[in-house]
């Protein structure tokens, strides 16, 4: 298996406050991995450290075997890492179609862009129906779909998803998670899924990491984590 991403002994800080302690994790090409943990555990900080918004103070972030620890976010995005941040952050004034166009701003293969736009509309038919509507008028679930579709327009090799289930009804979450699985299977897009909804995340991912207070405390296949007594009690409400 080829590692697409690896964090080695990573410490990250906000000013003097340490948020991540000695993080070691990796994702193989084509995998879905999930990072679960409570509020404030450091999940978002981990994603931001991958895409360079927060720079690791110690340790290394490796992408495709090359070190990207100190690279600027725009350089990292250009190499095929794309993040869908928590809270979605679509452009509310732009239409659905314009939002998707923005996702492809670094590309100039017109035919490919058109094909991927159609693929996005196949994945999320509701977005096709609403293609002329302003993003800000969409429901929360539709905005989440748009945020994912926009990220896919960049043709990422590694897609970082920060709590896609947040604030959404269970039925919509299920729909979105099914699509995440489909994108992974059909496009071989590697997915790094951060979630508080451990139950769902562990059902679609291949492997998982559990984070507490800025540290990885457990890692295993999702089947094993779902059966783990500590995980059941702390994260699955069982």
Binding site for ligand ATP (CB under 6 A): 14, 17, 19, 37, 39-45, 86, 196
The smaller minimum CB distance to ligand ATP, of residues 43 and 150, is found at 43
Q: How far apart are CA 124 and CA 38, in angstroms?
A: 30
Structure tokens at 188: 């071989």
Taking the complex as a whole, the smallest distance from the CB of residue 72 to ligand ATP amounts, in Å, to 18
Round the CA-based radius of gyration of the chain to a whole number and report it: 17
Taking the complex as a whole, the smallest distance from the CB of residue 53 to ligand ATP amounts, in Å, to 10
Task: List strands edge to edge, sheet with 3-14.
Answer: 17-28, 3-14, 56-63, 66-67
Task: Return the beta strands (E) in 73-188 as ranges.
Answer: 81-84, 158-162
The smaller minimum CB distance to ligand ATP, of residues 35 and 113, is found at 35
Taking the complex as a whole, the smallest distance from the CB of residue 200 to ligand ATP amounts, in Å, to 15
The smaller minimum CB distance to ligand ATP, of residues 10 and 123, is found at 10
Which residues touch 164 (CB under 8 Å, ≥6 apart)?
84, 144, 148, 173, 176, 177, 180, 193, 195
Q: How far apart are CA 213 and CA 194, in angstroms?
A: 15
Q: How far apart are CA 153 and CA 49, in angstroms?
A: 22
Taking the complex as a whole, the smallest distance from the CB of residue 19 to ligand ATP amounts, in Å, to 4
Contact 75, 53 (CB under 8 A): no
The smaller minimum CB distance to ligand ATP, of residues 15 and 65, is found at 15
Taking the complex as a whole, the smallest distance from the CB of residue 186 to ligand ATP amounts, in Å, to 29
The smaller minimum CB distance to ligand ATP, of residues 42 and 208, is found at 42
The smaller minimum CB distance to ligand ATP, of residues 40 and 112, is found at 40
Taking the complex as a whole, the smallest distance from the CB of residue 213 to ligand ATP amounts, in Å, to 8
Phi, psi values for residue 47, rounded to 5°: -65, -40
* DSSP 8-state assignment for residue 94: S
């Amino acid at each position: 298996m080829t590692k697409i991403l690896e964090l080695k002994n990573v410490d990250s800080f906000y000013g003097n406050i340490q948020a991540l302690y000695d993080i070691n994790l990796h994702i193989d090409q084509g995998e879905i991995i999930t990072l679960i943990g409570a509020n404030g555990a450091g999940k978002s900080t981990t994603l931001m450290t991958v895409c360079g918004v927060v720079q690791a103070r110690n340790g290394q972030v490796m992408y495709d075997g090359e070190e990207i620890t100190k690279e600027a976010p725009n350089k990292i995005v250009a190499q095929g890492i794309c993040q869908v941040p928590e809270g979605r952050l679509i452009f509310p004034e732009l239409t659905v179609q314009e939002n998707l166009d923005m996702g492809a701003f670094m590309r100039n293969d017109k035919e490919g862009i058109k094909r991927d736009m159609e693929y996005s509309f196949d994945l999320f038919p509701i977005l096709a129906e609403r293609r002329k509507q302003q993003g800000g008028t969409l429901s929360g679930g539709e905005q989440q779909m748009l945020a994912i579709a926009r990220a896919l327009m960049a043709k990422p090799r590694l897609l970082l998803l920060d709590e896609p289930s947040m604030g959404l009804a269970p039925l919509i979450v299920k729909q979105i998670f099914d699509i995440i699985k489909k994108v992974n299977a059909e496009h071989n897009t590697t997915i790094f899924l951060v979630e508080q909804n451990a139950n769902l995340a562990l059902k679609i991912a291949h492997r998982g990491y559990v984070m507490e207070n800025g540290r990885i405390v457990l890692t295993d296949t999702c089947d094993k984590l779902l059966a783990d007594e500590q995980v059941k009690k702390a994260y699955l409400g069982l």
